[in-house]
Amino acid sequence: MESFVGGRGGSGMNEPSMPGEAAVPGRHVNDHQMRLYMKHRLKEGPPRAAVRAGFSVATAYRIEEDPRLPSQKKAPRERRRGDPLAEIFDTEIVPLLQSAAGIRPVAVLEEMLRRHPHLSRNVRRTLERRIRAWRALHGEEREVVFRQVHEPGRLVWRSWASIMSPRSSTSASVS
C-alpha cells in the first residue's frame, strides 16, 4: 500500500509520494487528465487515480464534488466594457474609409476626436484593430505576389546528375 503525503484537507499542495508521478503545482487540470482520472476512478480510489492522472489528491476530491470536464466549466469571455466605437463606426468611420482608401487609423482617430470631443484617446488600438478587420473584409483588393528566390546551386544539381551518370558502361556494351 502506498503512502500519501497530506490527505484530504490542507492547502491543496498535497502531492502523492509515488516516484515519477509527481504532479506540477499551479498547473490546471485538462480534459485528458480528467478522462484518465475518471477511467482509473472506476477501479481505484481517488488518491491512486489522482496519482495516475498526474494531479494532487486534493484536486481529486475537488473533482469528486464537480465531475464536469474543465472545458465544460469555462464560461465564454465577453467584452469587459462597452464598445466605445459602436455608435460611430458604421455611420462615420466606414464612409471615411470608403472615400479615402489609404487613410491611416491615426488620422481617422484625430478626425473622430475633432467631431466627438467626448471620445477618449485610449480607443486608438481598438480603432486600429477594427479598421484592420474592416479592410481585410471590405477594403480594396491587394495584389498577390509570389516571390521567386533562386538559391545558387539548387537547380543545377539535377543537370550535373545527368552529366555525371556512367554512360560509358552502356556504350561499351553496345560495341
Query: Residue 17: is its pLDDT beyond 60?
Result: no
Could you read off the pLDDT of 145-163 as tens digits, one per residue? 888 887 776 665 555 556 6
From CA 62, how far away is CA 34, in angstroms rounded? 12
Could you read off the pLDDT of 87-124 as tens digits, one per residue? 999 999 999 999 998 899 999 999 999 999 999 999 99
Grid coordinates of 123: 480607443
Longest dimension (CA), the chain: 97
> Residues with Cβ < 8 Å from 124, sequence gap 6 or more?
105, 106, 109
